[in-house]
Amino acid sequence: MNIRASLQAPGRGFRLWLLSVPALFAATALLVSLGLAGAGIGIVLVPAAVVAVRRLADTARRLTGEWTGHRVERPYLPEPAGPESAWGRFLRLVSDPATWRDLAWLLADPFVAMFTALLPALLLLYGAWGWFLALGGGRLLVGYGMNDWYAFVHVHEGYGDDLGVVALTAALGTAFLGLGLRYGPRLLDVYGSWAELILGPTEAARLALRVEHLTETRSDALDVSAAELRRIERDLHDGAQARLVAMGMSLGAIEHLLDTDPARARTLLAQTRESSARALHELRDLVRGIHPPVLADRGLGDAVRALALDHPLRVEVNVDLPERPDPPVESAAYFAVAELLTNAAKHSGADRVWVDLRREGGALRISVTDDGAGGATLAGGTGLRGIERRIGTFDGVLALTSPPGGPTTVTLELPCASSSPKT
C-alpha cells in the first residue's frame, strides 16, 4: 500500500467534492439561461453560462488528472477561426453534445463525488469521532444529555462506565480510520473513472479534435520542410556549387599556365586544393544540419552525448532508452535538444545543463534543465514556439517551467512511433 497516496486521498477527495458547490451555481445559471432562450435574452446568456461551466469542468479535469491519474481530455468542438454571430455561437454551443454532458456532470457529480471522492474523508472523520467518544468525549457529552449511536454502539447514560463498550468504540473508530486510508486511493480512482467517462470526449468529439489537430500540424510540417528545402538549396547554390565552378575555372587557367608560367600554376593549384577542402567542409556542415552522422550511426543517446561534448557549458547527459525510436521522431528530438542546448548557452547565463532522455510508457520524454537565470517565456523569441510547432507534427508537446532566478526546465514528450495513433 502506498502510504503517501493513502494520506493524500482524503484531502484530495474532499477538495474534488468541494467543486460541487460552484457546480450547483453553474447548473442553475445554465438551466435558467436555457429557459430564457425562448425569450431571446438566453441567446446571449447561454454562451456566458457555458463559458463558466467549461472553466469549472476544466478545473475538475485538471485536478482529476493530477490526483487520480485519469487523464481527461477536453471534449469541446473547436472554436471557429473567424468571427461568429451571437446566434451562431448559441447554436454551436447548444448543439455541442459536450455542453449537455457537462450539464449532466454538474447535476450528478455532487452525489457521485459524495460516495466516491468524499468517502475517505468521511470515514476518517467518523473514525476520529469514535476515538473522541472513547477517550472521554463520550462521557462528557452524555453528561450534557447525549443519546446517540456510534455505528451499533449506543452512547447514552453511563457510557463511560463500561470499559468494554468504550474499547469497542475505539476499535470501531480504528476500523473506520483504516478503511478510509486503505480504500482512499481506490475510491479516488473510481471517481477518476467517472470523471473520465462524463467529462472526457465522446468518440465523435475525439475524432473531430484529432482532425483539427492533424490539419494544423500537417500544414506546419509542410511549411517547415519547404523552408528547410529552400535553405538547403541556397546553401548548396552559394556554397559547394559555387566553389566547384570556381575550381573548374581555376583548373582551366592552370592548364593554360602549365607551359607558360609553371610557378603561377603551382600557386593556383594550391589554391584550388584549398577550395576543394572548403567545399567539402561546407557540404559536411550541410549534411550535419540535415541528418547528423552520429545520429544515423548510434541513435539519439550518443548523438546527444556528442552534442554535449562540443557544448561550451558543462552538460550532463542521462539516457535510458531501451530501443531506438522511429527515425523521424529521433531526428525531431535531436534537433529539439540541439536547439534547447544552444538556447541555454545563449540566453540563460547557466554554468551547467542536465539532459535527460527516457522512455515512459509509449512516449519519449526529454528534459533539459539549466541552472541559469530563469524567466524564459514561450513567447520571448527564444525559438521555443518553433520547437513546439515542429514536434507538434509528431503529436509531441512541450512544457516550460522557468521561474525568475531559475532553474529553467523544458520538457518534451513525443510518442515513440511516428505514425499517428489509431483513434
Binding-site ranges for other proteins (CB under 8 A): 273, 276-277, 280-281, 284, 287-288, 293-294, 296-298, 302, 305-306, 309-312, 314
Looking from the CA of 242 toward its CB, the CA atoms found within 13 Å total: 9
Nearer to other proteins, 230 or 288 (CB): 288
- Least separation, in Å, of the C-beta of 387 and other proteins? 24
Nearer to other proteins, 312 or 362 (CB): 312
- Least separation, in Å, of the C-beta of 10 and other proteins? 48
- Least separation, in Å, of the C-beta of 61 and other proteins? 44
Q: Which amino acid is at 52?
A: A
3-state SS class at 400:
strand
- Which of 320, 322, 317 has its CA nearest to residue 338? 317
Pairing of strands 408-415, 397-401: antiparallel
- Which of 372, 342, 370, 346 has its CA nearest to residue 356? 370
DSSP states of 278-323 as a string? HHHHHHHHHHHHHS-HHHHHH-HHHHHHHHHHH-SSEEEEEEE-SS
Nearer to other proteins, 143 or 293 (CB): 293
How far is the CA of 97 from the CAs of 65, 80, 191, 241, 344, in angstroms? 22, 17, 22, 59, 45
Nearer to other proteins, 304 or 391 (CB): 304
- Least separation, in Å, of the C-beta of 119 and other proteins? 54
Task: Give the integer Cα–Cα distance in Å for 358 and 301.
Answer: 10
- Which of 247, 215, 216 has its CA nearest to residue 388? 216
Nearer to other proteins, 141 or 236 (CB): 236
- Least separation, in Å, of the C-beta of 292 and other proteins? 8
Nearer to other proteins, 1 or 309 (CB): 309
- Least separation, in Å, of the C-beta of 283 and other proteins? 9
